[in-house]
Structure formats: structure tokens, C-alpha cells
Chains A and B, each alone.
Chain A
Amino acid sequence: MTTLLYAVLLLAGTGLIAAVVLYAIATKFKVEEDPRIDLVAERLPGANCGACGKAGCRDLAKALVEGGDLVCPVCSNEEWAAVAEMLGLHADTCEIKIPVVRCQGGRLNSIRQTTYEGFESCAYAHSLHAGENGCRYGCLGLGDCTRACSFNCLSMNPETGLPEVNEAVCTACGACAQACPRGIIELRYKHAHEGRIYVGCHTEDKGALAMKHCLSACIGCGKCAKVCPVGAIKVENNLAYIDFTRCTHCRTCVDVCPKHAIVSTRPSDPEPAN
């Protein structure tokens, strides 16, 4: 009985002493930290994707609380407004963006002239050759962009050999656009209700050469620019570019393009409410 008592007392005693020591240390070496950091961090997506330029979500929270002028590209407008409110600020709303792949070459529209067998990396293949179809601007199809995404929302379509974006999951952090050695991926307004209209080609080669590489290459003929009622299309270096801030989704250009290089997406399916 006494053995048991001793054991309990000894344990309790050690616990008490340890508690006192720990308490003393904790008060002496206490780090003053703004409690808002944790609150803000809780509100952020927690993916630590690094798209804001900080090491992770908590790092961004700290920077925000300290008055940094930074934006989380992953947060929706509402979530961002909530963060701003917590800090007593007002957030500007911004249009949600989404990456688009400006190449339709791949396996279906371009002819493979050579075969690449090296390391599976677009950056490496880009340093070696122009591409299996000979186009020095087109997608190499080796998936650097898919590997760069921390949300797993890009995948290579085995049929076309081109990357595809899963709209429901994409947070528009821009990691894929940065990973692509050829700058094929661009972040554009999502326009969930109207769909997106963009030139699905990135070649600056002259028309004849571009056509040799790919069936759906922009040849810079300028027909689209002529018909656009709001003047949103510019042709530079043999390549048309549609300014997404001015496009009104009239879709006139889509049909006049002789090479079917302009991509027009359907309106997105309504986002799942949750």
C-alpha cells in the first residue's frame, strides 16, 4: 500500500516541480506574437503553395499582420474580404483568373517528325530541340506544368498530349505558368458565365512555316483583328493576341479564323455549392 502511495506522491511531486520550472521558463522567454497571425493563417487556404511569394501560408499571415502589401492569389474574393476585415482593411475585389494553354498542337494537330527519348522534362527538352513536331514555340508535352501544380489540377491528356486544367480545383496560383519553359500557359479572367476566348497558339513563326508544323497554328493573317467590334485583338510578330480585359464574348472572331486557332470555351458548369 505504502509503495503505491510513494509512487503516486513521487510522480505528483516531479510533475509539480517540472510544471513550476516550465512555467518560469515560459514566462521568462515568452515570444510576443500578434494573436491575429494565427487567426489570419486559419483563414488562408493552407496549401503553402508559395504563389504569394512567401514561404507558406503562415509566413504570408505574418507579413500581412505586419502591414505587408501582399495578395493571396488562391483566396476567393469573399475569403480575401474576410481576411481584410480581420485586419481592419478594405480589400479590392478582383476578377478570378484561370490558366489557359495556348497550344493546340499536340498529337492530333501536328505531325511528329522526330522522337524524343530523354529525361521527362520540358525544360531539358527545350534546351535540346525545338520539339517533336518542329515547332519551337509549341507545347513539348512532357508535363513540367503538371508537376509544378500543388493542387494537382493539371493533367496531361493522353489523347492530345497537351495539359488540361481542372477548373473546379484550380486556384490560379500561377505555378504552372512559371514552370513552362515556353511561356505557353497564361492566366486569364475566368469569366465563368461567358466562357473564355483566346488564341490557342503561341508561335511567332511566319505563316508558311507555322502551317508546316501544325494544323491549327495562328498564321497572323489578321482576319480576327479586323472583325473584332471592340478592337481587343492585336497581331504582333505573326501572332494574334486577344486582350481579355476588353473582350466582350461576341465570338465573331472564332468563326472567321481560317485555321481554327481561336479557342472558345463553354460557360463553366455552375460551381458546386459547399
Chain B
Amino acid sequence: MKTFHKGGVHPNDNKLNADAPAQVLTYNGPFCIMVSQHLGAPSRPIVQKGDQVKRGQPLTENTAFPGSVVHAPVSGTVQNVTEAPDTGNFARPAIFIQPEGDEKEDFISDDPTLEREISLSPQEIIERIKDMGIVGLGGACFPTHVKLSVPKDGKAEYLLINGVECEPYLIDDYRLMLDKPDEILVGIRILMKALSVDKAIVGIEANKPKAIALLRQKAADCDGITVEALRMKYPQGAEKQLVKALTGREVPSGKLPIHTGCVIQNVGTCFAVYEAVQKHKPLTERLVTVTGPCVESPRNFWVKIGTPVSALVEACGGRPENTGKVIAGGPMMGKALPHLDLPVTKGLSALLLLPEEQAHRRTAEHCIRCGKCVEACPMGLEPYLLHAAVRNKRMDLCERHHITDCIECGCCQYTCPSFRPLLDTLRLGKSKVNQIIRNRNTPTR
């Protein structure tokens, strides 16, 4: 079985209750839609207080490249255009909608039958994906249409589909692969057409045998699509690691996967692309895992973007007494939430409720020079050294030792027997070095 070779760790996969069917979350309260839900230039709201909106109506426009838009998840009245806290408790622009009636934009088709015929041209597909607000649903939320527009110095050969889901606890991609395999495969064919590539490889980790078998069987009559089982290892879902695992190619430092001829999309994104292109549906809904050792019955929910996360927790039986931390995303790369009064965004893949005894960090001890972090780093960095360099403000040293290659996977911190805050310092140093590089490259006056 294939995998990437350098570094990586093996956390317990904890895929609790993975075979529970997905449910639709019903919620009728006010929706809060964050204006910018993607990575890139901020968007600008185009609706005002008091406006009537239909389901699927665009609420924002792009200000600059790379941008993406959001749409109304329900029909109703715009209550307010103001600010709401994001996952870091910073106030960001948001639109509040009070649901009313059930009107939708005419172009949306709610017909559930599978549509295999792809009628649009590559250019039209990319344009449609842009208009429907599709972003990478693996977590980074990078606008999908930008990834599909191949830069001049690259040429796409392979489309790699990420069904790895290497983070412990998360089961939403797995559920989607079991529930919507045909739609995902049509989505893949749409993306292949948009990129004009004839080879696509779906990578799935070996702990999901059902998904592998199902997609293999369905893909048998799709030309050019193969399904590859991968040996379990974190962070296999990271772009560069997935390229290595599936094609054996190495993405050089400072380059993008496209420079090795690969474009990577998540399975969730493929489904959203299917919905956007075949059914003309904007991205206003996604699958979210609610899980954790103290959650009674971990499950997946189809949730409308803008629903408060507290509604999700309620639907799972409420917040258990001994909850110490609620994390948006998985335990390795997720972010602890300050409170539950936050809206679901396009990038939210899971809510992980950790009990008090698992929620805290342990006291950092001195580095014992065991080298475990160096062994674990999938990018071949020396975290202990970079940690010291950042603490001593040696940014030149950080740059020379490629701190900007760090993918923030957290393997180093996970593996450190002295519980040192390696990832924290690396992130800090990486952002500082990136700023230094930017300043150096912008000519002064």
C-alpha cells in the first residue's frame, strides 16, 4: 500500500460511530452568514437591512483576486448587516437573516435524480464554480475556481482527489463517499473536464475499506478514474504529502503541487462541484461531524451555512457536563472555540467535544535533544532548532532552515516527549519570516 515516506505520525484514529447515517439538521432561528468565508481577499456585502432574499441569492461580491462569494441559505429578510465574532472571537462582517417562506432562485434545481451528462464547456464550468461560491472544503477554503485556472508555468496532468481524512475523529468525508458516490464521481469528471486532464486518482486511507470498495466498484465504468488505498499516516491529506503518496513526485520547496502537474481537490468539494454545475446550486450546505469521547452519539449532519454551532451541539444531546474544549475541526489542526455562539462556515468540517481531562496542555519541559520532532516532520524540517531560533529572534536562521515550508501539521508538537510548544513558535516564526520576505520584495518608494 502506498503512502508518503518522510516523517508523519500515527495518532489513534478514533472514528467514533462512523456508520451512523447522516441527518438533516432542522433549524429555524436567525442565520448568521460570515461575509468572507474563504482564503483570499475579503468580500463586500451587497444586501442591506430589510432586503428580502431568496434561497441561493448571492449576498456578497468580490473586491479583489482571489475572491469567493456567499449565498443566502434560506429565504427571508435581512435583519442586519453588521459584525459577528469569528472562531478567534475577532469581530468580522456578517449578515443576519431571519428565515421566512420558502422561495428559491429559479435557476436552482432540487430534483434529486443523478445527472451524468456534462453539457458545459471548461470555461463555463470554472465560471459556474466561481459564481456558486465553491471553496476547498477540506478546511483551507481556498477558492476552487482559482485552483482550476492553471498558471502559465504549470501544466495539469493528474487530478488527485483527497478522500484521505487522516485527522482522527472526523468522519464527514467518509459519510459523503458512502452516501453520494455517484455524485462525487460526476464531480470528478467535471473537474477533469475543466482542467482537461484524463487521469484522476482518488486516495483513501485503509481504515475506510467500505468507501474504497464502493468507489472502486462505481469508478470501474468511469474512464481514467482510479481509486488508491493508502496506508494510514497523518498528515496524508496535506497536499504535498498526497502528491508524494499517489504519484511518487516531490513538490520542491516554495513550489505548488501544480508545478509537478497535480491539482488536488477534496471529495467534499467534488460533491459541491457536482451540485453547482449539474443542479446549479450554490454552496449553502455542508456535512459536519459532531463527535468526541463525551458525546453520546457522534453523528454527521447536513447543516445550512450560517446555523449557530450551538444548534449542532443541541442536536447531539447538548453539551456534556465535563466538556473542557470544543474544537472546530480535528484534534491535530482544529481550533478551539471561545464559545458556541458562532455560525457554521464553509470550512467547518467537524465539532469535536473533548472532556476536561483531555482538554489541557501538559507543562513544557526542557528539550532533551531526542530528535523525535525531526523524525516526525513530514517536510524534513528541524523543529527543535527552529523553535530555539524563533525564541531568540534569529529570523535569518529560520529563513535559512526553510521555516516557510512548515505546513503547520503539528506532528512535531504531537510527538515531543517534553510537550514543548513547537508548533506555536513555528507558526509565529513562519508569519514573521513571510512578512520579512514580503517587505524585501516590495520596493520602498
Contact = CB atoms under 8 A, between A and B. Distances in A.
A119 B424 contact: yes
Contact of B431 (A114, A118, A127): A127
Nearest to B422: A119
Contact of B421 (A113, A118, A128, A209): A118
B89 A127 contact: no
A128 B427 CA distance: 10
Contacts of B339: 113-114
B90 A130 contact: yes
A131 B339 CA distance: 13
Interface in A120-160: 121, 123-124, 127-131, 134, 136
A131 B89 CA distance: 8
Contacts of A127: 427-428, 431
A117 interface: yes
Of B89, B360, B424, the most chain A CB neighbours within 10 A belong to: B89
A123 B427 CA distance: 11
Nearest to B387: A119
Instruction: Report the contact-size class of chain B (Cβ under 8 Å from the partner).
Output: 10 to 19
Contacts of B428: 119, 121, 123-124, 127
B356 to A, nearest CB: 12
Contacts of B91: 136, 205, 209
Interface in B82-108: 85, 88-91
Q: Is the interface of A mostly helix, strand, loop or mixed?
A: loop
B358 to A, nearest CB: 13
Contacts of B380: none
Instruction: Report the contact-size class of chain A (Cβ under 8 Å from the partner).
Output: 10 to 19
Interface in B305-353: 335-336, 338-339
A136 B421 contact: no
Interface in B408-441: 421, 424-425, 427-428, 431
A130 B84 CA distance: 13
B369 interface: no
A219 B424 CA distance: 34
A118 B421 CA distance: 7
A131 to B, nearest CB: 8
Contact of A130 (B88, B336, B361, B421): B88
A251 to B, nearest CB: 34
A114 B338 contact: yes
Contacts of A129: 88-90, 338
B425 A130 contact: no
B425 A136 contact: no
B431 A113 contact: no
Nearest to A119: B424
A113 B337 CA distance: 11
Contacts of B361: 117-118
Interface string B358-401: 00110000000000000000000000000000000000000000
Given A127-B431, A128-B88, A129-B88, A134 B424 contact: no
A142 to B, nearest CB: 11
A126 to B, nearest CB: 9
Interface in B266-293: none
Contacts of A114: 89, 336, 338-339
Interface of A: 113-114, 117-119, 121, 123-124, 127-131, 134, 136, 205, 209
12 contacts: A117-B361, A118-B424, A121-B425, A121-B428, A127-B427, A127-B428, A128-B88, A134-B89, A134-B338, A136-B89, A136-B90, A205-B91
